[in-house]
Each structure stands twice: as C-alpha cells, then as structure tokens.
Amino acid sequence: MNNTPQQRSFLRSIASVWYRHFRVYTSNFLSNGFPPFFEPLIFLAGIGLGFGKIIQEMDGVPYLQFLASGLFLSTAMMTSAYECTFGSFIRLEYEKIYDGILAAPVTLTEMVLGEILWAGTKGLFFSFAVVSVITLFGIFSTPKVLFIPLVGFLTGVIFACISLFITSLVKNIDNFSFYMTGFLSPMFFLSGVVFPLSNLPSWLRILAEVFPLTHTLRIGRAILFWKTQTLLWDSLYSIGIILIFGLLSIQGIKKRLVQ
C-alpha cells in the first residue's frame, strides 16, 4: 500500500532535519570522523591491554572481548548524549537553529524526531568505528560483530530521547555536568561495561537494571556470545524507554520554545 501524502510529508520533514545535521557534520568530516576510530585504541591500550594480561577471562569470555563488547555501545551512548545535550542546547539557545527549522514546513514533533534519528545515526557510526578498530586488531573474528552497529543505533536513539528531555529542563549549559557526572559516568561502570553485574552487591544489581545501557549491552552480548536469557525483557525495556522519553522530550522542547 502506498503512503498517503501526509505520511510522505511527515517522513520527508524528519529526513530533512536529519539531512541538515548530516551536512553540518560532514562539512568537517576529517575532524569529526577521525576521533571515533582513534579513541578505542587509547582505551584498549590504557585499560584492555593492561588488565588483559592480568585477567584472562571475564564472565566466561576472554577479557578483551568482554571489554570490547562494552566499548561498542558505551561509545554510542556518550556520542548520542553529547549530541542531544550540548549540541541540542546550542542549537536551541545560542544559534536559534530550532526557530529556523520551525519556520519551514516542519512541525516540532518532526524536528525532535529528526534530532533523535540523527543521534541514533551517530551512535551507529561510532559503534561501527569501534567495531572496525577491534576487528582490525583481531579481537573479534566472528561476522556477528557486524550487527553490533545496529544495537549502537538503538543505544543512540535511547540516549537521544533521555538527553533531549534533560535539555528541555536545563537552563544553563553548565548544568549538564550533573547529568554527565551523576548519571552517565556511574552508568558506564555499573552497567557491565568493564566487569559483569554479578560482581556487584545485590542492591547495586537492582540499580543497574534501571540503567538503559545495561539492557543494550546485554542485547549486544547476546548477539556476540549467544547469551539470550533476558533478551525479550531487554528489548521491551529499551522500547519502553524510547517511547516514554521520546514523548517527554517532545513535550519538554515544546514547552521550552513556548516559554
């Protein structure tokens, strides 16, 4: 069945917002695109290679593979979070890009969805960059690793929704430090990136289940290591976070622009 004109206009408007961000990003592609391929080397050299000589296995898999599988998606989390906090706040408050977009035939919902889609795309790209580096060094040889950037896209969308909601509440760009330090940094260490959740006390394991990164990490590791015990729960939780915070971010940005 063919899409209606309204549906085509809706999708075209979302794509136009995405394409606007894509053009801005690729206008300085060398400076924007090189760090995602270089940063994993620093992390693996600083942590992976050092601890890899001490810790042979973690959660039943070689430690470098365990660490790399976490790095794939934590990278997507951070790049999406930065895009939809600092990046979106600058577009909203300083550059007034949102005002210009809404002056075109684009609704606020379409603009926010375009922002989320772009952040998800950056999550995919950054995950792909890490996968490329890790594969180049022979840490993973399975072709299943090629599916990980899709989970990076999912991770990017999740944290785009959460981060846009936070952006709708923040009045000063410096306040993002509370979000970064108080939420994202603990999540990096308590979601199973560096060590498995089974190493945590029982009360912290409960807290870890609240963190969205915990669930996308398990989805990614289910693909790589066939650990599928909670795959349905992780998928439903991820979708729920997208729907809840997607709606909250749309309402929050709308209220912010009206004010």
Structure-model confidence comparison of residues 144 and 246, the more confident one? 246
Percentage, residues of the chain above pLDDT 70:
88
pLDDT score at 30: 72
pLDDT score at 132: 87
**Structure confidence at residue 82 as a pLDDT band (50, 70, 90):** very high
**Structure confidence at residue 7 as a pLDDT band (50, 70, 90):** low
> Is the pLDDT confidence value at 228 over 80?
no
pLDDT score at 138: 82
Give the CA angle between residues 226, 62, 231 to the nearest 5°.
25
Give the pTM: 0.91
Nearest to 160 by CA among 80, 65, 61, 244: 80
pLDDT score at 144: 87
Name the CA dihedral angle for 251, 252, 253, 258, rounded to a multiple of 10 degrees: 90
Q: What confidence tens digit (pLDDT) does each residue in 31-70 have?
A: 776 766 677 667 776 665 666 666 767 777 888 888 888 8
Structure-model confidence comparison of residues 161 and 227, the more confident one? 161
Residue 67 CA to residue 65 CA, distance in Å, equals 5
Percentage, residues of the chain above pLDDT 90:
54
Q: What's the length of the chain?
A: 259
**Structure confidence at residue 1 as a pLDDT band (50, 70, 90):** very low
Whether 208 and 129 have beta carbons less than 8 Å apart is answered as no
